[in-house]
């Protein structure tokens, strides 16, 4: 597997983002991408198999049932790039269906080297697939893939799971517009979106009984301790999941159990926390299936097809660049 080196200094960027987020007036926050270091990525793999968290299983059911339908609608020949591949397990269905039609270059784009290694191990047995891993941010990686495309070749972008839900709605449109600017007419994106469901179902999914999601969320503080020389006392923060009805989202927060001061050496920062004050770490926005069609139009795509899982409301939509 070929993995491109990251040219920016990730520690400097991490420290700067932490400083900006924890000094933000009003609500302190940390960018959700920092949840996914090697430990966080491994914990998320555990979350994906918890009984309360049906999203990943719904995603996999749709891909297993409809991979052939997806491939039948693509312009060939095509190379595949995945934004946030994780372990690559659910991607297998698309790659195997495509592999029956052509030899395929597959570019998993990940910020976690561990996730890239897991992906390579998971998919290397598919003979007709060449895996070229890219340890990059999404858009930087996609620019590299687009520059590597062969004459007459189309691209299929996989953006599975509910990662688009980590953006608020306007930011989600802007992100898809940026993706569209990198693509050519006829290129495609398979977009996963988690659909609206009951508050009770959502809270159980994002605050599981075993506490795996809590460990996943708290790990971002442990990561800041490890990488930035901070002194967060993890037992003095607790995981909280909240429903934001106006935004139609679930928010994850870390709540300070008491008034305390934390020092973060690499960020040159001392930050005060009041008792019950929170750090906002992630949002997961939920959609209606109809909204995806408008989302596609706003970003310069047309929604060619959509498949919906009824057991855990979730949609896979095939968008084609116009």
How many Å apart are CA 85 and CA 44, to the nearest integer? 12
Report in angstroms the alpha-carbon separations of 306 from 28, 200, 204: 37, 26, 27
289-298: string of b/e by CB count within 10 Å (b at 16+)?
bebbbebbee
Number of C-beta neighbours around residue 302 at 10 A = 12
Q: What is the mean pLDDT of residues 241-254?
A: 97
Instruction: Name the least confident of 111-115, 265-269, 279-283.
Output: 111-115
CATH number for the domain formed by residue range(s) 55-197+287-321: 3.40.50.150
The pLDDT tens digits of the residues spanning 101-127 come to: 999 999 999 987 888 888 999 999 998
pTM of the prediction?
0.91
Domain range list for the chain: 29-51+215-285, 55-197+287-321
Q: What is the mean pLDDT of residues 221-239?
A: 98
The pLDDT tens digits of the residues spanning 169-187 come to: 999 999 999 999 999 999 9
1 pLDDT tier (thresholds 50, 70, 90): very low
List of residues 6+ apart from 275 with CB closer than 8 A: 256, 257, 258, 259
The pLDDT tens digits of the residues spanning 302-314 come to: 999 999 999 999 9
- pLDDT beyond 70 at 201: yes
The pLDDT tens digits of the residues spanning 10-28 come to: 899 999 999 999 999 999 9
Tokens (6 digits) for 210: 């075993």
Predicted local confidence at residue 111, as pLDDT: 82
Predicted local confidence at residue 175, as pLDDT: 97
- pLDDT beyond 60 at 2: no
- pLDDT beyond 70 at 8: no
Predicted local confidence at residue 113, as pLDDT: 82
């Amino acid at each position: 597997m070929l993995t491109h080196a990251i040219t920016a200094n990730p520690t400097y960027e991490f420290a700067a983002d932490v400083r900006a987020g924890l000094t933000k007036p009003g609500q302190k926050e940390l960018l959700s991408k920092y949840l996914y270091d090697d430990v966080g990525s491994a914990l998320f793999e555990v979350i994906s198999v918890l009984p309360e968290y049906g999203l990943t299983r719904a995603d996999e059911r749709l891909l297993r049932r409809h991979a052939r339908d997806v491939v039948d609608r693509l312009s060939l020949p095509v190379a595949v790039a995945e934004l946030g591949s994780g372990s690559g397990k659910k991607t297998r269905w698309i790659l195997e269906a495509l592999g029956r039609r052509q030899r395929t270059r597959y570019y998993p784009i990940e910020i976690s080297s561990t996730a890239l290694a897991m992906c390579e191990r998971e998919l290397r047995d598919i003979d007709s697939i060449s895996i070229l891993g890219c340890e990059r941010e999404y858009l930087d990686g996609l620019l590299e893939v687009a520059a590597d495309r062969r004459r007459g070749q189309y691209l299929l972008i996989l953006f599975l799971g509910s990662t688009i839900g980590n953006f608020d709605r306007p930011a989600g449109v802007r992100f898809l517009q940026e993706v569209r600017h990198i693509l050519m007419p006829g290129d495609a994106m398979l977009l996963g979106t988690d659909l609206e469901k009951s508050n009770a179902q959502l809270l159980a999914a994002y605050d599981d009984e075993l506490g795996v999601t809590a460990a996943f969320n708290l790990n971002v503080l442990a990561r800041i301790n490890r990488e930035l020389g901070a002194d967060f006392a993890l037992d003095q923060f607790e995981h909280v999941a909240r429903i934001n009805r106006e935004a139609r989202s679930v928010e994850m927060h870390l709540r300070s159990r008491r008034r305390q001061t934390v020092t973060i050496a690499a960020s040159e920062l001392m930050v005060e926390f009041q008792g019950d004050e929170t750090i906002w770490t992630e949002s997961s926005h939920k959609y209606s299936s109809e909204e995806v069609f408008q989302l596609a139009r706003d970003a310069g795509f047309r929604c060619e097809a959509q498949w919906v899982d009824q057991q855990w409301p979730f949609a896979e939509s095939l968008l084609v660049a116009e």
